[in-house]
Each structure stands twice: as C-alpha cells, then as structure tokens.
A and B are shown apart, each in its own frame.
Chain A
Amino acid sequence: MKYDAQDCKLVFSQKLTPTIYDFRLQNSALAAVTKPGQFVQVLVPGKTLRRPISVCDVEGDTIRLVFEVRGEGTAIMAETRTGESINIIAPLGKGFDIDPAKKTAFIGGGIGVPPMLYSAKQCGANAVVINGFRSKDAMILSDDFKSAGCRLIVATDDGSFGIHGFVTQPLAEVIKDVEMICACGPTPMLRNISKLAAENGVPCQVSLEQRMACGVGACLGCAVAVKTEDGSVFYRHVCKDGPVFNSEEVAW
C-alpha cells in the first residue's frame, strides 16, 4: 500500500504573517517517507475537496506545513488548534531530484518559498537560496534557511528588504556558479527562471500547482500542458507526474 490517509496531531502552530501559518503535524510513519518537494492533501471539515499543501520540512516525526490562507478551505484549516487532529493523504507526488554534492540554486517566490526549505537543507552549504517576496512584511523562513547553512539572498518587489526587484536578478549573477536550479512560485516567475536556465544551460526543476481533486492521479483534474519530443502538447498531472517537472518539458 503506497497511499494512506491518516490522522496527524497538530503539535505546533504559529502565525508567521497575517495570512501565513506554520503547522507541525506529528506522524512518524508518514514523516519517515516524505521527500523534499512532495505535498499532502489536507481534509478540511465541511469541504468536499482536500487542500493540496506542499511539505515545508520534515523534522523527526513531524511534517511541517507552511500555508497561506487564500480562501474558505485554508481559513478553516488555520482555525485548527494545537492538540487537534488533521487528516492528510501523504506523501504525494514526485518531489525534487536533489544531489547534495551539487551546487544548487533553490528559488522560491512568495508562498512558493516553504517547499524550498526541506529541499535546500539537503544541500546545506551547497545551496544558494533566493527568496522573493512582495515586501519585508511578507518575508518568511529566513532564519530557517540560514540555520540549514544555506547562502540566503532575499529580493522584494518594493525594495523594503534585500534586493529591490525580482529573483531573476540575483539568479543571473550566481547562475554561472550553479549546476542545478530548483524553483517554486508564481507561473510568470517560473517561466522567467526557466528561460534564464535554458540560456545558461543549467538544468531546472519547477514545482507547479493546479486546481486538484483526487491528489493521486486518478481523476486527471490537475492538468499541466507539457511538450513531447515531436513538439506537440499533451497533458500530464501535477499530483502524480509532478508537482515537480523538468522546466524544459513544460509548455509555458
């Protein structure tokens, strides 16, 4: 049995910004098999569809989820109290293919930053982390990346912290020194990173999101357009084929 839905106890909860929550869910069996870049499907009381949330980190027997309240479902999730249980299907999807020995750039934009933490940790000092936020107020997880021994570069859209601009600016400066790029964030950001990676001949993996139903590859809801070798486009699925795709196969 590869998939399972299990109750996990919420053992720690913290509000990182007015809309972003940090949850630690205790479940040693699921934590032990969860890999960087994978996600979980969270059951929301009163909602038909589960919420796909990327794994931010795994620490011992806990799975850490850092998520943003975007709608009714995540708002209900955010009301969960420490000690209560959350039912998740986990771990799901194909995560990042990481070689700890390779100098790797991990790039996150906004709520695309959390899945980069567990991923960047694998590379420690070989990780160059570039995080982009709207402003200083939205900045999250900086201390966590630094504690993991990663080199951290922060960019903000409004210049209120770090580099004034997009993540592609610092990436252009360090790209000559990296052998791999892993990225998660808004589609325009991923498209630009993908272009930069291709121009510099650096392999690039991107984590995508799409409205999802089953989470396991059965319903074919979360389609993403990919290119085939003959140039035609067909649909693969974020939940089973992804969420991480080779940037060159995505039909941007």
Chain B
Amino acid sequence: MADLSVNIAGVHFKNPIIAASGTIGFGHEYSEFYPLSVFGGISCKGTTLKERPGNPPPRIAETPMGMLNAVGLQNPGVEHFIKEDLPWLKKQDTVAIANVAGSTREDYCRMAEILSETDIDMIELNISCPNVKEGGVQFGTSCESVAAITKAVRAYCKKPLIIKLSPNVSDIASIAKAAESEGADAVSLINTLTGMRIDINTRRPIIKNITGGMSGPAVFPVAVRMVWQVKNAVGIPVIGMGGVTTWKDAVEMMMAGADALQIGTALFTDPYSPVKIAKGLNDYLDAHGMSSVTELTHTVITD
C-alpha cells in the first residue's frame, strides 16, 4: 500500500482526490452512494453572499466526450451554508473547502471574512465562473485583476487560500504567478472552457444562457497542458482538474505538475469514479515501486 496522502498549503488530505466545485453540491447526495471520506476533500458548490436562483433552463448540453453547463451559481447563500451544511460536512472525515463567488470585490472580501470565522478548512476563490453576468470570470482574466482580487481577499482571509483559474485566457502561467505574488497559498485549474451548442432544427442555442462551461474528457489535454505550464511557473501547490476520469488520467495530471486533483464531470458518468481512481493510483504506485503519491508530481520528462 502506497501513501496517497498529500499536503496542500498545510492541510493534510488522505488522498489527492478532491470533488470539484459545482458537481457535488455540499456533499449530501453523493454521501448516499458512499461515505464522503473516500475523497481527500470536497470543494463545495460555489457560494455567494446572498442566495442566488441561478440561470433559467436548459442549463445542460452534452458535447462529444463532455458537456456544457450554465447553472449560474444557484446556491442558498453563505449563511445558509454555514448553518445547514458545514456542521454536517465537518463530520464526514474529508477536507471541507468553501468555493466563494461574488459580483464585486467587496463580496469576495466579506465572504472570506465570514468564512474565516468558521471551521471550514480552506477557501477556493472562484474568479473563473463563465456563467454569471456580473463578477465571476471578470476578476480572473488579467494579471492585474487577479493580483488585485487576491491581494484584497488575502487581507480578510485567515484560511488557506486557493485561487481557481480560468482557462479562457491567453497566458495562464502569468495569471498563476500574479495570484502567487499576492499571497495565494495554492492555485486550482482549470475551470470550464467557454463553449456553445446550437440545435440545428430550431437554430437556437441548446443552453438558455447561450454559452456554457465545457468540461469532461474532451478538455483533459488542455488541462494537462495548462497544469504543466502553471507548475513550471509557480512554487505554490497546484491542484489539477479538467476531464480527469480514470486513474490513468490522475497519474498523467500529477506527472504534468498537479499536487492534488479535482474530479467533477466523471462523477456524473460513474459516481464511483473517486473510489476507482484511488485504487488505480495505489496499484500504479505499488507496481512502480513508489511509496508516496507525491513522487508523481511534475515528473514529466520533456528533454
């Protein structure tokens, strides 16, 4: 048995597999399949200061080996999360990560301030949601805006701070560096790639929001490339995500530079994928004589 545990910004994860924000709610539903302790951590549904109704349907469209979503941050608000979901989540033997979204810089700061007074383990700053009209990705697409929001939130955030990066940018490595320079403890990437599908019979976009965020196996090579570029550029931990579906994908993503992983869309295809990925990672490490999963990180040979 290899050691699957990882340490991200001082937080111990029993394995590197984290449920990606937006795919698992606050954990209740998937806890009906298996104990949530199968995950190293859970990044909760993107939460805002006040309740948000989300976007009108349809919110989902399938794509070749993937999907689009435009849920639009439907959530009950941070106070509801702290009162109703967090106490339960803290008993599930997994790292609890709050995913924070907002329309203004003040929203993000206030959220970080409120959550810092709770026993949440980490905060993931969602500055990469492509599906809301205000805020979200507008904070995440230039080095200046990422540096500014990271600096502002850092002043209020007493928890380890992860900045979740958008792939819809020209140079993701410099954006990661901007986050690191203003005090981010880790970065996670990639959020979804903005996409669009059209129903050729009605000539209308399938998703009511017109565009949506693309995820699933189809985005995996893009994610691997970006994780590698970011790991080459920063010294803080990198949490890799984007289409990780099998244990082989997990090994590959870690070799590219990920210190931990998030899996999302794979849960929809196979709810048991985190269990299978953990087993596959362990078997791979055993077969290759490695004692710790950390030995995989950033070991791609490029010369």
Q: Chain A residues near B179 (CB, 8 Å)?
A: none
- Are A235's CB and B74's CB within 8 A? yes
| Known contacts A5-B270, A48-B217: A216-B32 contact under CB 8 Å | yes
**With known contacts A213-B69, A219-B69, A221-B71, A3–B56 Cβ distance under 8 A:** no
Q: Does A1 contact B (CB under 8 A)?
A: yes
Quote the shortest CB–CB distance from B22 to chain A (angstroms): 7
Check: A165 CB closer than 8 A to any chain B CB: no
How close is A232's CB to chain B, nearest CB, in angstroms? 9
With A3-B33, A216-B30, A221-B60 already in contact, the answer to whether A50 and B269 are too (CB < 8 A) is yes
- CB pair A221–B25 under 8 Å, yes or no, is no
Q: Which of A47, A212, A218, A233 contacts B60 (CB 8 A)?
A: A212
The answer on a CB contact under 8 Å between A223 and B34 is no
Cβ A3 vs Cβ B271 within 8 A:
yes
Write the nearest CB–CB distance from A75 to chain B, whole angstroms: 13
Contact code string A177-211 (vs B, CB < 8 Å = 1, else 0): 00000000000000000000000000000000011
A12 proximal to B (CB < 8 A): no
B267 within 8 A of A: yes
C-alpha gap A41/B58 in the complex (Å): 18
Against A, the Cβ 8 Å flags (1 = close, 0 = not) of B34-77 are 10000000000100000001111111111101110101001000
A5 touches B271 (CB 8 A): yes
Q: Which residues in A have their C-beta under 8 angstroms from that of B268? A: 48-50, 213-215, 219
Are B74 and A219 in contact (CB-based, < 8 A)? no
Which residues on A are within 8 Å of B, measured CB to CB?
A: 1-5, 43, 47-50, 73, 89, 210-225, 233-235, 240
Give every chain A residue within 8 A of B269 (Cβ-Cβ).
Answer: 43, 47-50
List of A residues within 8 angstroms of B57 by Cβ: 210-211, 222-225, 235
Specify which of A2, A5, A47, A220 lies most central, judged by the most chain B CB atoms within 10 Å of its CB.
A220
Residues in B with CB closer than 8 Å to A89 are 271
* B65 near A217: Cβ-Cβ < 8 Å: no
- Listed A/B pairs (29) with beta-carbon separation below 8 Å: A1-B32, A1-B34, A3-B33, A5-B33, A47-B269, A48-B62, A48-B65, A48-B67, A48-B217, A49-B60, A211-B61, A213-B69, A213-B265, A214-B267, A215-B268, A216-B30, A216-B271, A218-B23, A218-B29, A219-B25, A220-B54, A221-B59, A221-B69, A222-B59, A223-B56, A223-B59, A235-B54, A235-B57, A235-B74
Tally B residues with Cβ within 8 Å of A: 38
A120 to B289, CA, bound (A): 61
Whether B32 and A211, one on each chain, are in contact in the complex, defined by CB atoms closer than 8 angstroms, is: no
Enumerate chain B interface residues (CB-CB to A < 8 A).
22-25, 28-30, 32-34, 45, 53-63, 65-67, 69, 71, 74, 206, 216-217, 265, 267-272
Measured between alpha carbons, how far is A2 from B31 in the docked complex, in Å? 9
In the complex, A216→B271 CA distance in Å? 10
Closest to B34 in A: A1
Q: Is the CB of A3 within 8 A of B71?
A: no
Q: Using Cβ atoms and an 8 Å threshold, which residues of chain B touch A240? A: 29
Which chain B residues border A1 with CB–CB below 8 Å?
32-34
In the complex formed, the residue of B with least CB distance to A210 is: B57
A233 to chain B: which residues have CB within 8 Å? 53
The 6 closest A-B pairs by CB, nearest first: A2-B32, A221-B60, A218-B25, A211-B60, A218-B29, A223-B57
